[in-house]
């Protein structure tokens, strides 16, 4: 029988570990990891006209309008062989985007990372990230071997512009209001995996792997 290919999305509040777990999952299944946040930050850093527009939303802790987000994601998906599988991190983020994605490709796993707001804030306040490869670290929970330096590529570690207390609060509000309705959307589709995101990183990953295996996905 042909191997079941993973076509997963990761959703959860800011700081829930979408990037951390999404990368682990993509590595394990040998599929691409696509993060809309990363795509947007690269565009903003390139100072393109589109980047300038994106910046307004990202630095306000708001969602980028659906039309623009859907276009960026569809463009990225077109360049991939979707039959081989993928992990989408941070997309979709509302029911409208989910409906759009459903027209492009059918998702077979929606990983919901559950983390309380207070823990999300604690994590984001301590997060640092590589300027070159975007590898994520946490000052105390997953520190780099050498302070300030990426263990993977040697790049500088910096804080993200949107990891200020005020913007973290706004991003959390946006999540509860706009993204949480995806829980019932994907439950109805029968692909929802709810994960306790408050465990240590390897245990969160273990829970994801156990639950995906139950659905017949073998890495
Ligand atoms: P995005 O980049 O996706 O940001 P986010 O949703 O706020 O999520 P984060 O990347 O901050 O957190 P994460 O869940 O990836 O956690 P991480 O693994 O880093 O989006 C940025 C912006 O782009 C949005 O605000 C919006 O403006 C725009 N945007 C993006 N997608 C969009 C869309 N679809 N539509 C419209 N607009 C969109 O972990 C966080 C920290 O915790 C790290 O330090 C990590 O080391 C640590 N950590 C992780 N797991 C654990 C654990 N289990 N225990 C302890 N520490 C942990
Ligand atoms: Mg992320
Ligand atoms: Zn790096």
Q: What is the rounded CA–CA span in Å between residue 68 and residue 39?
A: 12
Quick one: which ligand is closest to 13's CA?
1
What is the DSSP-derived secondary structure letter of residue 90?
S
pLDDT at position 37 is 95
pLDDT at position 4 is 87
CATH classification at residue 30: 3.40.50.300
pLDDT at position 218 is 87
Is 123 noted as a catalytic residue in this protein?
no
Q: What is the rounded CA–CA span in Å between residue 191 and residue 150?
A: 35
Please give the C-alpha separations between residue 176 and each of 8, 197, 208, in angstroms, as whole numbers: 21, 16, 22
Residue stretches of the chain with pLDDT short of 70: 1-2
pLDDT at position 181 is 98
Q: Measured from the CB, is residue 178 less than 6 Å from ligand 1?
A: no
* Position 167 in a domain: no
Q: Measured from the CB, is residue 91 less than 6 Å from ligand 1?
A: yes
What pTM value is reported for the model?
0.96
Q: Which residues fall inside 5 Å of ion ligand 3, going by CB?
A: 130, 132-133, 135, 150, 152-153, 155
Q: What is the rounded CA–CA span in Å between residue 161 and residue 113?
A: 23
Give buried/exposed letters for 100-113 (b at 16+ CB in 10 A, else e).
bbeeeeebbbbbbb
Domain hosting 51: range is 7-115+176-214
Our count of domains for the chain comes to 1
* Position 135 in a domain: no
* Position 121 in a domain: no
* Position 146 in a domain: no
Question: What would the two tokens of residue 169 be?
Answer: 């609060």
């Amino acid at each position: 029988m042909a191997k079941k290919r993973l076509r997963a999305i990761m959703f959860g509040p800011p700081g829930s570990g979408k990037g951390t777990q999404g990368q682990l999952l993509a590595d394990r299944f040998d599929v691409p990891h696509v993060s809309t946040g990363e795509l947007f930050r690269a565009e903003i850093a390139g100072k393109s006209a589109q980047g300038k527009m994106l910046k307004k939303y990202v630095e306000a802790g708001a969602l980028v309008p659906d039309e623009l987000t859907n276009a960026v994601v569809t463009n990225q998906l077109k360049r991939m062989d979707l039959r081989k599988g993928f992990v989408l991190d941070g997309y979709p983020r509302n029911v409208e985007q989910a409906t759009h994605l459903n027209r492009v490709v059918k998702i077979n796993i929606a990983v919901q990372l559950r983390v309380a707001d207070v823990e999300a804030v604690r994590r984001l306040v301590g997060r640092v990230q590589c300027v070159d490869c975007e590898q994520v670290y946490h000052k105390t929970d997953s520190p780099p071997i050498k302070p300030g330096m990426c263990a993977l590529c040697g790049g500088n570690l910096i804080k993200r512009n949107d990891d200020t207390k005020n913007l973290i609060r706004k991003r959390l509000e946006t999540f509860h209001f706009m993204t949480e309705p995806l829980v019932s959307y994907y439950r109805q589709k029968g692909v929802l995996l709810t994960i306790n995101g408050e465990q240590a990183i390897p245990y969160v990953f273990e829970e994801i792997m156990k639950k995906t295996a139950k659905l017949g996905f073998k890495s």
